A and B are shown apart, each in its own frame.
Chain A
Amino acid sequence: MRRSMLFLPGNTPNMILSGDCLGADAIILDLEDAVAPDQKDAARVLVRNAIKYLQFPGVEKIIRINSLDTPYWKKDLDEMIPLKPELIMTPKTSCAADVLEFDAYMSELEDKLGYERNTVKLMPLIETALGVENAYAIASASKRVAAIFLGAEDLSADLRCKRTKEGKEILYARGRMVLAARAANVDVYDTPFTDVNDDEGIRVDAEFAKGLGFTGKASISPRHVAVINEVFSPTQKDIDYAYEVMEAIRIGKEQGKGAVSLHGKMIDAPIVARAQQTIDMAVALGLGKEA
């Protein structure tokens, strides 16, 4: 269950320490953009100790490491893989070869540590035009890839366009990411909404992303987490309808019917699949029971 992912700067103890009480399903401990080049060593040790000693129960740990074009990424992985964070986020991932390079080094470390391969999953951050074009290749490059994540700030710079609240400039990229992820059967996460004080804006942006098919959304502010969780959770009405669908299917099968309808509408396989997804999520959130 990962609806919200909250970025926390890797060299800031007072923010990291509260990581498990800010409501996010996952925290992204950031060793990349949030850390100055001359503080990379300090952030790496701080994040490693935080995971080792605090553990953050009930919250998924994602580490955003530095990109392949820096001298830092191997050191980041050397320190993080022994602690088995759930996911490593790789910035500026632009092609399948990038994924395979991270994957190979992670496998090497897992072998040395005696861990099963793919213990730590990958979430490539796609934030270049080339990355968006290669989204499916990235998402399907390795079994280690569990999700892909759209980074719109860097992407807008690469596209040479202005980043706006409405997000028209990233509409194609958003759609492309969702298609790629679903085709590769991995999760897909939307870019953060960067106006921390716009409470209505985050809701509109999150609802739009959910409507496109995103699994969840990242945030740079704890203020946005509750709205993201709410938007990406099924409503009680959704849950009730999902159980009705499953019940109608059950009765139809008992009666030997080939076609089943509910409230005057035919129930076909995609509707049943969506109902099952809703029930699975409701169960995970403690809002429902297995159908």
Chain B
Amino acid sequence: MENKIAKASCGTMESSDAYMELEPVAGATQIELQSVVEHQFGESIRALAAQMLAEEGIENVRLSIIDRGALECTLRARLETLIGRAREGGSAHA
């Protein structure tokens, strides 16, 4: 899959949700996480994000996640939406 993406965002800062931004960078992929459950779930959230980026063939990006206690199904949904928007040119779309 073509690794052509634009800067994109999705999600909210409400509880049980996560706000995410994705943008292309020159170097290796960076995943930045702020989470209210960092101590317990930080590693698994980073692993999930890395896995979904890899599955989509996306490299050389900076992914920022502000997690407000989202369940895995919510994180997956937000990551999928984020990647979809990044591929569509960055803005929210229907």
A residues at B contact (CB < 8 Å): 12-14, 17, 37-42, 45-46, 48-50, 52-54, 71-72, 75
- Residues in B neighbouring A54, C-beta threshold 8 A: 73
Beyond A13-B14, A13-B16, A17-B16, is A41–B81 a contact (Cβ under 8 Å)? yes
For the A-B complex with A42-B81, A46-B78 known, give 5 more contacts whose Cβ atoms are closer than 8 Å.
A39-B92, A41-B93, A42-B78, A45-B77, A46-B77
For residue A131, give the distance in angstroms from its CB to the closest CB of chain B: 25
13 contacts between A and B (CB under 8 A): A13-B70, A13-B71, A14-B16, A14-B17, A17-B16, A40-B94, A41-B81, A42-B77, A46-B74, A46-B78, A48-B77, A53-B71, A53-B73
Q: Is the CB of A37 within 8 A of B81?
A: no
Beyond A13-B14, A17-B16, is A42–B92 a contact (Cβ under 8 Å)? yes
- Residues in A neighbouring B84, C-beta threshold 8 A: 41, 45
Residue from A52, A71, A75 in contact with B73 in the complex, judged by beta carbons closer than 8 Å = A52
Q: Which 5 A-B pairs have the closest CB atoms?
A: A14-B16, A53-B73, A38-B92, A40-B94, A49-B77
For residue A70, give the distance in angstroms from its CB to the closest CB of chain B: 8
Q: Is B15 at the interface (CB under 8 A from chain A)?
A: yes
Smallest Cβ-Cβ distance to A71: which chain B residue: B94
Q: What is the bound-complex CA distance between A32 and B91, given in angstroms?
A: 20
- Residues in B neighbouring A14, C-beta threshold 8 A: 14-17
- Residues in B neighbouring A13, C-beta threshold 8 A: 14, 16-17, 70-71, 74
For residue B62, give the distance in angstroms from its CB to the closest CB of chain A: 20
Contact residues of A: prevailing secondary structure: helix
Q: Which of A12, A13, A42, A72 has the most CB of B within 10 A?
A: A13
Smallest Cβ-Cβ distance to A46: which chain B residue: B77
Q: Which of B10, B77, B81, B92 has the most CB of A within 10 A?
A: B77
B residues at A contact (CB < 8 Å): 10-11, 14-17, 70-74, 76-78, 80-81, 84-85, 91-94
For residue A159, give the distance in angstroms from its CB to the closest CB of chain B: 30
- Residues in B neighbouring A50, C-beta threshold 8 A: 73-74, 77
- Residues in B neighbouring A17, C-beta threshold 8 A: 16, 71, 74
- Residues in A neighbouring B17, C-beta threshold 8 A: 12-14
Smallest Cβ-Cβ distance to A45: which chain B residue: B77
Beyond A14-B15, A14-B17, is A37–B77 a contact (Cβ under 8 Å)? no
For residue A250, give the distance in angstroms from its CB to the closest CB of chain B: 52
- Residues in A neighbouring B76, C-beta threshold 8 A: 49
Smallest Cβ-Cβ distance to A42: which chain B residue: B81
For residue A44, give the distance in angstroms from its CB to the closest CB of chain B: 9
Q: What is the bound-complex CA distance between A49 and B78, given in angstroms?
A: 10
Q: Is the CB of B94 within 8 A of A45?
A: no
Beyond A13-B17, A14-B16, A14-B17, is A42–B74 a contact (Cβ under 8 Å)? no
- Residues in B neighbouring A53, C-beta threshold 8 A: 71-73
Q: Is the CB of A41 within 8 A of B92?
A: yes
Q: What is the bound-complex CA distance between A91 and B47, given in angstroms?
A: 40
Q: Which of A37, A42, A50, A71 has the most CB of B within 10 A?
A: A42
For residue B33, give the distance in angstroms from its CB to the closest CB of chain A: 18
Q: What is the bound-complex CA distance between A4 and B74, given in angstroms?
A: 26
Q: What is the bound-complex CA distance between A17 and B70, given in angstroms?
A: 10
Q: Is the CB of B72 within 8 A of A37?
A: no
- Residues in A neighbouring B10, C-beta threshold 8 A: 42
- Residues in A neighbouring B92, C-beta threshold 8 A: 38-39, 41-42
For residue A14, give the distance in angstroms from its CB to the closest CB of chain B: 4
Smallest Cβ-Cβ distance to B92: which chain A residue: A38
Q: What is the bound-complex CA distance between A54 and B73, given in angstroms?
A: 8
